[in-house]
């Protein structure tokens, strides 16, 4: 797709300075951009990093730059936006729309007679849609994907190749499920006995609200008796494990290799960074941030807005102090050994 700089400015909500008739052919990075492509400079952040970005943008072949108000750059058509990254993201979505995953119903797809496919649904090669499944209008089911019996997929969803939706799961509108993801597998539920473990049959489901994105090779287990619930707008990275009966609130973010054990409650706008872990029955209230490789013990509750680090997770300021002391343990140990070797002081001996 192509447009003029003026049209792009109107679409992303920016103020234009320069040649509004300039033809824009796409988006790119400063180092690879051609003359007709638009680039951006991040607002704020570290001063040195911003200076490097400005220099790269100034030298770039790109003739159009999205950047913050009040920042000078000669020789370019400028699109002024308070949040250049957001404006660039909108430009990317407009100029580089995602390619279709599936068009029409492929001859090799297996679609049960009782499945209900709405208008505009695409089903790719060797995909399987079982009995009584429902696929909403405009949704696309990629090659070799599986939609189980009675599952429901809302409008305009993108189920990428080799994704799996077990029986009975529910997806809202505009949900993306990337390749290798599994939604609705059994939760890890067993009853210990003297002879081993007896499986606690998992008869619940998974409910995914609108505008959720689920990364590649992520797994979301079905509830044991009720539902595992993922709220509207949640973004889940690759290689994440979400256990049975977990609830994740609206617009929360879960980064790669994080794990959430069964029956945890995660509030709205929570951020779980990479390799974080929640033991069972934890509660993170709205706005909690868990720093990388941090862990929350079983049953622990952290209140709204807490910023946590460490394993076990503690408030960030306290965790930093603990980490600083930990780094001096060898020196402290040497001092303790020297004091022990010296024996009691003369004053102590008089006592």
Percent of the chain's residues with pLDDT above 90: 90
The pLDDT score that the predictor gives to residue 123 is 98
Percent of the chain's residues with pLDDT above 70: 98
The rounded distance, in Å, linking the Cα atoms of 220 and 230 is: 9
Report, as an integer, the average pLDDT of 154-169.
98
Beta bridge partners of 111: 129
Which H or E element spans position 278? strand 277-278
The pLDDT score that the predictor gives to residue 131 is 98
If we measure between CA atoms, which residue out of 277, 273, 281, 283 comes closest to residue 303?
A: 283
List strand residue ranges (DSSP E) for 35-163, in order: 37-40, 64-67, 77-80, 110-111, 116-117, 122-123, 128-129, 134-135, 140-141, 146-147, 152-153, 158-159
Angle at 150 between CA 197 and CA 214, to 5 degrees: 75
> What is 3-95's CATH topology?
3.40.1390
> What is 110-317's CATH topology?
UDP N-Acetylglucosamine Acyltransferase; domain 1 (2.160.10)
Q: Pick the catalytic residue: 96, 106, 144, 244? A: 244
Report, as an integer, the average pLDDT of 69-82.
94
Report, as an integer, the average pLDDT of 81-110.
96
Q: How confident is the model at residue 47 (pLDDT cuts 50, 70, 90)?
A: confident
Phi-psi region of 292 (alpha: psi -120 to 50; beta: other; left: phi over 0): beta
Residue-wise pLDDT tens digits, 255-304: 999 999 999 999 999 999 999 999 999 999 999 999 999 999 999 999 99
pLDDT at 1 over 90: no
Report, as an integer, the average pLDDT of 137-160.
98
Report, as an integer, the average pLDDT of 147-160.
98
Q: Are 316 and 292 in contact (CB under 8 A)?
A: no
The pLDDT score that the predictor gives to residue 297 is 96
Q: How confident is the model at residue 222 (pLDDT cuts 50, 70, 90)?
A: very high
DSSP character at residue 44: S
Tell me, yes or no, if 96 is annotated catalytic.
Answer: no
The rounded distance, in Å, linking the Cα atoms of 220 and 205 is: 10
End-to-end Cα spacing for the chain: 89
Q: What is the DSSP string of 208-238?
A: E-TT-EE-TT-EEEPPSSSEEEE-TT-EE-S
Q: Does 110-317 match 3-95 at the fold level?
A: no
Report, as an integer, the average pLDDT of 31-60.
91
Residue-wise pLDDT tens digits, 204-214: 999 999 999 99
Residue-averaged pLDDT of the chain: 95
Q: Which residue has the tokens 């990629």?
A: 142
Instruction: Spell out the domain ranges in the chain.
Output: 3-95, 110-317
């Amino acid at each position: 797709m192509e447009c003029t700089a003026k049209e792009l400015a109107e679409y992303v909500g920016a103020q234009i300075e320069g040649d509004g008739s300039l033809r824009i052919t796409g988006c790119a990075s400063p180092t690879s951009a051609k003359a007709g492509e638009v680039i951006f400079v991040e607002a704020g952040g570290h001063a040195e990093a911003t200076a490097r970005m400005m220099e790269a943008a100034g030298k770039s072949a790109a003739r159009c730059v999205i950047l913050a108000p009040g920042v000078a750059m000669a020789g370019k058509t400028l699109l002024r936006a308070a949040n250049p990254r957001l404006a660039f993201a909108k430009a990317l979505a407009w100029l580089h729309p995602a390619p279709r995953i599936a068009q029409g119903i492929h001859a090799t797809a297996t679609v049960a007679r009782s499945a209900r496919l709405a208008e505009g649904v695409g089903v790719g090669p060797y995909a399987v849609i079982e009995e009584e499944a429902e696929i909403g209008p405009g949704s696309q089911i990629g090659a070799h994907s599986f939609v189980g019996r009675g599952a429901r997929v809302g409008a305009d969803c993108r189920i990428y190749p080799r994704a799996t939706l077990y029986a009975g799961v529910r997806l809202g509108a505009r949900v993306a499920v990337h390749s290798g993801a599994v939604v609705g597998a059994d939760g890890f539920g067993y009853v210990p006995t003297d002879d081993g473990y007896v499986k606690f049959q998992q008869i619940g489901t998974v409910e995914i609200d609108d505008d959720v994105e689920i990364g590649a090779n992520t797994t979301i287990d079905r509830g044991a008796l009720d539902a595992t619930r993922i709220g509207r707008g949640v973004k889940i990275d690759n290689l994440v494990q979400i256990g049975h009966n977990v609830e994740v609130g609206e617009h929360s973010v879960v980064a790669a290799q994080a794990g959430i054990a069964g029956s945890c409650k995660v509030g709205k706008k929570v951020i779980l960074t990479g390799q974080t872990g929640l033991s069972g029955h934890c509660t993170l209230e709205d706005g909690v941030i868990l720093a990388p490789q941090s862990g929350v013990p079983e049953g622990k509750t952290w209140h709204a807005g807490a910023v946590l680090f460490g394993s076990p997770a503690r408030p960030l300021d306290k965790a930093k102090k603990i980490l600083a002391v930990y780094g001096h343990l060898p020196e402290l140990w040497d001092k303790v050994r020297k004091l022990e070797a010296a024996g009691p002081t003369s004053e102590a001996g008089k006592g």
